[in-house]
Amino acid sequence: MMRLLVTSINKFLIFFRSLIFELIRLFLTILFCFVGNLTFFMKLEYRYSLITLWSKLNIYCVKYICGVNYKVSGLENISSNAVIVTSNHQSAWETLFFQILFSKQTWILKNNLLKIPFFGWGLRLLDPIAINRKNKLQSLKFIIQKGRKKLANGWNIIYFPQGTRVEPNIKIKLSSGVFMLAKNSNFPILPVVHNAGVFWPKNSFLKYPGTIYIKIGKPIFNTTNIINSKKNLEDWMNENYSFFNNS
């Protein structure tokens, strides 16, 4: 009986904390949509600094309200040079947290997001690499073309080569696009793996307390052989993800 009571209390607390967080997130979203769209006259770097404050506040709130903490290893592998950050994709959490973890960055995302009123307009001001996933060949050409310019100007690129959010414990498989970008731009891939989907699940209202583990690998400079590079990175991600589960 006592165990059932504790479980019920825990479930209620998780729901209540998630509700408080979502209400604050809604307020922050409305506020930054309004403020962000007023930054159109600023330089991109200034717009970026202001608008991405929204993400940093969300990470702060979900940590202290919902108990979603994090632990990062491999910080020594981050340098001041631009890289193609290549990560598995499970949650909204990593898209927010990477804005704390890495310096100025742009994202490869679907162009439909830019059509969302206010939110999408603000996102457009950050000049992301927005693609139409239905036309894969054209999208890849655009990623390489714009990605090379962004990297050359010192912007990190955040790339989720799974294409969409994937449930935890599903074997990580990557698309080849990130390796083609690295090969054509001569910029390295910085591999990252995490288990954020365990605590902030895909499309979930509930945010579960616990520690998200993030591991940053060593930069990958040689991607001439795309097939081998893809297999090696998939192996590294899956091996380290298994370590999270056993730790």
Q: What is the pTM of this model?
A: 0.90
State how many domains the chain has.
Answer: 1
**pLDDT on residue 123:** 85
If one compares 245 and 198, the residue with the highest pLDDT of the two is: 198
pLDDT digits (tens, 9 = 90+) for 128-169: 998 887 788 888 899 999 999 999 999 999 999 988 899 988
Encoded tokens for 53: 């404050």
**pLDDT on residue 3:** 42
> Are 215 and 73 within 8 A, CB to CB?
yes
CATH number at residue 201: 3.40.1130
At how many degrees (to 10) do helices 44-51 and 2-36 cross? 150
pLDDT digits (tens, 9 = 90+) for 208-231: 999 999 999 999 988 778 888 899
Query: How many C-beta atoms lie closer than 10 Å to residue 207's C-beta?
Result: 24
Q: Which residues touch 46 (CB under 8 Å, ≥6 apart)?
A: 39
Residue 28 domain boundaries = 2-246
**pLDDT on residue 31:** 93
The 8 Å CB, 24+ separation contacts for 11-17 are 14/66, 14/206, 14/207, 14/208, 14/209, 15/206, 17/65, 17/66, 17/67, 17/207
Q: 131: exposed, middle or buried (C-beta count within 10 Å: 0-12, 13-18, 19+)? A: buried
CA–CA separation, 20 vs 22, rounded Å? 6
pLDDT digits (tens, 9 = 90+) for 158-204: 999 988 899 988 899 998 889 999 999 999 999 999 999 999 999 89
